[in-house]
Homo-oligomer: A and B are copies of this chain.
Amino acid sequence: MKITKLAKGISLKRPLEGGNEEQLNVVRQVLSEVKKQGDAALRFYTEKWDGYAPESLRVTEKEIAEAVNALDQQLYSDLAEAAENIRLYHEQQIRTGYHMELGDGSWLGQRVTALDAVGLYVPGGTAAYPSSVLMNVIPAQVAGVQRIVITSPANQSGKLPAGVLVAAHLLGINEIYKVGGAQAIAALAYGTETIAPVDKITGPGNIFVALAKREVFGEVAIDMIAGPSEIAVLADDTAYADEIAADLLSQAEHDVLACAILVTTSEQLAKKVAEEVDKQLKTLPRQEVARASIEKFGAIYVADTLADAVEAINTLAPEHLEILTENAEVIAEQVRHAGGIFIGRYSSEPVGDYFAGTNHVLPTNSTARFASGLSVDDFVKKSSIVYYSGKTWEENAPKIARLARMEGLEGHARAVESRGWEKE
């Protein structure tokens, strides 16, 4: 990895991955076809791109049962324990709205209600993601969403990864479709004969999925436009180089576009980490992916002071941030922008990917400046409530009418003034 002196005031902000015009045109075509042709278009694109012709778009109970029976009991129990941890963390996020008495019988309120239906996209490709099922489904369940749908591309034999089916089964989800790509997003947004539309779509995917989510945004809600995974490690000379290298590689192995960055005050640590990365890469099964990522997007910055290092981290607003310094908890308070913060050497980032209970769906591409990880908040909406009594109306109607007239909206003023005791 390249070691660079951290320039003061440098911005490490990551550019947004927008996709190109050609990809966007493909996505728009797919969305439009699925909207018009429904299931027929889903079947067409699934055969064309995923290489199989599904008998049934929906996963059968038999397939789920087979997956459950085939899975190692220990793994099932690990998944169940992870699910329980995730549930406990997310239960802290439940909100109930509020009620404010204004006097004279008047009140204002906020009501929080769950979305009716949500769809979770689980990516296919080179890895299986049962953990994504847990991370997306559990917050929706905690929020009280009644209908939760999963869609994911099957492999060429028409199978979904057993782990995905088992994770869904564990959570009581059985509406699962073997559809991937932009066509899956279209089905969730517009509905087809087989798949009823949902109100919100969550879950990561490739560039086609990301572009499709962006296109249907507004028609339905979406979680975020997820970019490639990122890790930043902030370390001083108390940290262990081999641990940092392992953590950097754990993100780099996700994707050739993933980004792994170390910012440290120790030049010696910087050198050791670079060496360790090279060494550990040699035996990593996904070394091709990880090496490409490290070469293109990996970086080590040496900062003069810890304060400079923290400021650089704030410009990066990383998806994941590990703090491996003395007084790491104090340093964590100085970080303003990061999706997930991992404090101390025993909080290796994969601890949060799978097990601790926090959500692993986190904002990428420096969007942690304004965005948050997936949470129960993503699966509820709020309504405001106004109840004015006659007395409160009488006292305030003249003020409201004046404000309306200042804006040139006479109809608003008249609406408020149209009330009166005399009619009662």
Contact = CB atoms under 8 A, between A and B. Distances in A.
A389 B346 contact: yes
A359 interface: yes
A399 interface: yes
B240 A423 contact: yes
A306 to B, nearest CB: 19
Contact of A407 (B100, B129, B408): B129
B290 A411 contact: yes
Interface stretch (A42-50, A175-183, A215-223, A267-275): A215-223
A237 interface: no
A346 B400 CA distance: 12
B384 A418 contact: no
Contact of A110 (B92, B352, B399): B92
Interface residues of A, number: 122
A377 interface: yes
Given A100-B88, A200-B370, A412 B353 contact: yes
**Which of A200, A217, A329, A388: most chain B CB closer than 10 A?**
A388
Interface in A272-286: 280, 284-286
A327 interface: no
B404 A384 contact: no
Interface of A: 16, 18, 74-75, 78-79, 81-82, 88-89, 92-93, 98, 100, 108, 110-111, 113, 115-116, 126-131, 163, 199-200, 214, 217-221, 225, 240, 242-243, 246-247, 249-250, 252-254, 280, 284-286, 290, 329, 332, 335-359, 362-363, 365, 367-373, 375, 377, 381-390, 392-393, 396, 399-400, 402-404, 406-416, 418-419, 423
B412 A339 contact: no
Contacts of A338: 383
A419 B322 CA distance: 14
A89 B108 contact: yes
Which 4 A-B pairs have CB atoms at the shortest separation, nearest pair first?
A358-B384, A346-B393, A253-B411, A250-B415
Contacts of A368: 381, 383
Contact of A414 (B250, B329, B404): B250
Nearest to A248: B415
A410 B350 contact: no
Given A285-B410, A352-B386, A407-B131, A358 B108 contact: yes
Contacts of A219: 16
Contacts of A225: 217-218
A353 to B, nearest CB: 6
A341 B385 CA distance: 5
Nearest to A391: B346
Given A253-B412, A399-B81, A407 B246 contact: no
Contacts of A416: 348, 350-351
A354 to B, nearest CB: 4
Task: Give the residue among A130, A249, A412 with the most B Cβ atoms within 10 A.
Answer: A412
A92 B98 contact: yes
Given A75-B403, A377-B377, A408-B126, A339 B371 contact: no
